[in-house]
Amino acid sequence: MALALICTGVVGAMTCWFSATEIMPELIRDWRLDPAQAGWLTNAVQIGFVVGALASALVNLPDILRLTRLIAGAALLAAAANACLLLEPGYSGALAARFVTGVALAGLYPPAMKLMATWFLRGRGLAMGFLIAGLTLGSSMPHLFRALGGGIDWRLVVIAASLATLSSAAIFGLMVREGPHGFGRATFDPRQALAVLRDRPVLLANLGYFGHMWELYAMWAWFLAFATAAAGAGVGPFASPSAFAFVVVASGVAGCILGGVLSDRIGRCLTTAGMMAVSAACAALIGLAFDGPAWGLALIGIVWGIAVIGDSAQFSAAVTELADPRLVGTALTLQTSLGFALTVLAIWLMPHVAEMLGGWRWAFLALLPGPVIGTWAMLRLRGMEASRRLAGGRR
């Protein structure tokens, strides 16, 4: 029951992450935004997340407060900030609202990972996989709202995302409690964050995560632009670019569950390295299918959608097993905040690469260094004695 409730809560909250990205064409038209301003509306959430997560880690917030209260409060704030778009506050106001949305989500996503870990010792990798599957499905929902609604008013997409996030606050505030395998409470000490960063096995797991994150959110944020460009060239494997983007991002749900199963059976390091190798191959190959056939473009996109997120939960599970038990919340928050800081650069970079290359066809090649470095880091971690603490010895 806890698994289902936590995952459902994460799905609801994450619908507001890309709500502005999905309605960007309308915002560009109605608010007369230029491409740079449109990009920063997406990146404002990433920056807010980084700021919120770093602040949370520095004061050890996930290790001091009751997790369910922290998550419920963060969901309420995210819903309110997302709903501010309905007021049509203009570019500056929307930028601030998206920043606050990111700050709020930093109080929800990393603590939710720690909350999930309190319920599972055995099968933790699979449980984390289900949680990241919830994040993936929630992130894809704005694409689905638009694909199903056709030409619906952009405000309805925002309303749907805000209501879903409110439901998340209700779930965490009223229906979920911490599990029996708690990690204990820490006291405020900023030096504890530095201790986490100096731990070499944790550092390698984080480096793997950083390589993964360089690719993940830039792919999610700009795949709609890639699909739109492919459709303009006459290749549209689904009914619309929004439908294609939804299928690709949502396919990651299967990847997260597959990654959890493999991680608990063959090991965290092998699973993450394998997923990143497949993901890197898709980033390199998808440009070849840009002008067809449509089934080839769809196949590469779906495989990429599965692999690009399938390993994500396992980096978090690894940190819960490698870090000092008293500092698990802080370690998770540091991992995610620094990883999301990289996404800001990657998201900003992609349209510039596309412009330099004359279109989106080969732009995703810029993401290749991330999974390549991440694969190296996880194979290096596998060779260390500390990796025997992963997944009950399955590394």
Give the pLDDT confidence of 265-311 residue by residue, as tens digits. Answer: 888 888 999 999 999 999 999 999 998 798 999 999 999 999 999 88
Q: Which of 45-49, 159-163, 196-200 has the lowest mean pLDDT?
A: 196-200
The residue with greater pLDDT, 194 or 72, is 72
3-state class (DSSP) for residue 150:
coil
Q: Which of 78-92, 121-135, 168-182 has the lowest mean pLDDT?
A: 121-135
The pLDDT of residue 114 is: 80
E strands, the chain, in order:
none
d(CA 252, CA 283) in angstroms, rounded, equals 15
Over residues 369-378, the mean pLDDT reads 94
Q: For the chain, what is the HEC assignment?
A: CHHHHHHHHHHHHHCCCCHHHHCHHHHHHHHCCCHHHHHHHHHHHHHHHHHHHHHHHHCCHHHHCCHHHHHHHHHHHHHHHHHHHHHCCHHHHHHHHHHHHHHHHHCCHHHHHHHHHCCCCCCHHHHHHHHHHHHHHHHHHHHHHHHHHCCCCHHHHHHHHHHHHHHHHHHHHHCCCCCCCCCCCCCCCCHHHHHHHHCHHHHHHHHHHHHHHHHHHHHHHHHHHHHHHHHHCCCCCCCCHHHHHHHHHHCHHHHHHHHHHHHHHHCHHHHHHHHHHHHHHHHHHHHHHCCCCHHHHHHHHHHHHHHHHHCHHHHHHHHHHHCCHHHHHHHHHHHHHHHHHHHHHHHHHHHHHHHHHCCCCCHHHHHCHHHHHHHHHHHHHHCCHHHHHHHHHCC
Candidates 390, 366, 138; CA nearest to 256 is 138
**Mean pLDDT, all residues of the chain:** 84
Residue 392, pLDDT above cutoff 70? no
The pLDDT of residue 371 is: 95
Over residues 52-62, the mean pLDDT reads 75
The pLDDT of residue 192 is: 64
Q: Which of 47-51, 241-245, 348-352, 389-393 has the lowest mean pLDDT?
A: 389-393
* List of domains in the chain: 2-177+199-393 (1.20.1250.20)
> 0.75 cut: is pTM over it?
yes
Give the pLDDT confidence of 187-211 residue by residue, as tens digits. Answer: 545 566 666 667 788 888 889 999 9
Over residues 179-185, the mean pLDDT reads 64
Band of pLDDT at residue 98, cut at 50, 70 and 90 = very high
Residue 182, pLDDT above cutoff 70? no
Q: Which of 284-293, 307-316, 382-391 has the lowest mean pLDDT?
A: 382-391
Residue 339, pLDDT above cutoff 70? yes
Give the pLDDT confidence of 217-253 residue by residue, as tens digits. Answer: 899 889 988 999 998 888 778 878 888 988 998 899 8
d(CA 42, CA 393) in angstroms, rounded, equals 40
Question: Residue 361 has what DSSP assignment?
Answer: T
Residue 171, pLDDT above cutoff 60? yes
Q: What percent of the chain has pLDDT over 70?
A: 90
